[in-house]
Amino acid sequence: MAKPTRKQVGVKIAPEPSTENDAEKKSSTQRIFGAKVMDHGYTALPNILMRGQKRLGISTTQFNIVAQLMSYWFDPARPPFPSKRDLAQRMGITEQTLRINIKALEERGLVMREQWKTAAGDYGSNRYHLDGLVKALKKLEPDFDEERKERRQSTTLTEKPNARANARNTKGKTDGSPE
């Protein structure tokens, strides 16, 4: 690395990756948040869930509950089973508020609670099945796919000079002849 010039003395210069391949190997989330933050894990939330929150009828508290449950869901065959106390503490709400909102998610068919018994026969934490949520998101996907196609088409029209005007002028004409 070249020695700093007088103008650069005292100015901290961010170290460059050792190779271009190192930068390419890092995920975008790792490049944004850094390796130390990402080392603690992450939760994947589908964009359709975030963008479709209103369509699903999910309040902000219910969305947070779903996100928290998803942070415990590592294996599709094993539903998450955090305690109500842990969920409520993470979110800064009471267990009663949590129960009310989980019940609303159940009534909407997005979450299903299963009472779980330990091997000793004691009641353990509920298991939370998110199959209804997954099904609802899959049902919304065609709407979002159509919106994406419309956005791309609109972008194409705005990128070409006079494309929108030409599209308006040719709309409704089937034989290509002037009006």
Query: In the prediction, which pLDDT does 73 show?
Result: 92
Query: In the prediction, which pLDDT does 132 show?
Result: 96
Query: In the prediction, which pLDDT does 161 show?
Result: 67
Q: Exposed/middle/buried for 117, CB within 10 Å: 0-12, 13-18, 19+? A: exposed
3-state class (DSSP) for residue 46? coil
| Alpha-carbon gap, residue 64 to 87, rounded angstroms | 10
**CATH class (in words) of the domain with range 33-131:** mainly alpha
Sorted by where each begins, the domain ranges of the chain are 33-131
Which residues of the chain are modeled with pLDDT < 70? 1-24, 159-179
Per-residue pLDDT tens over the stretch 11-52: 555 555 555 566 668 888 889 999 899 889 888 899 999 999
Q: Which helix (H) or strand (E) holds 129?
A: strand 127-129
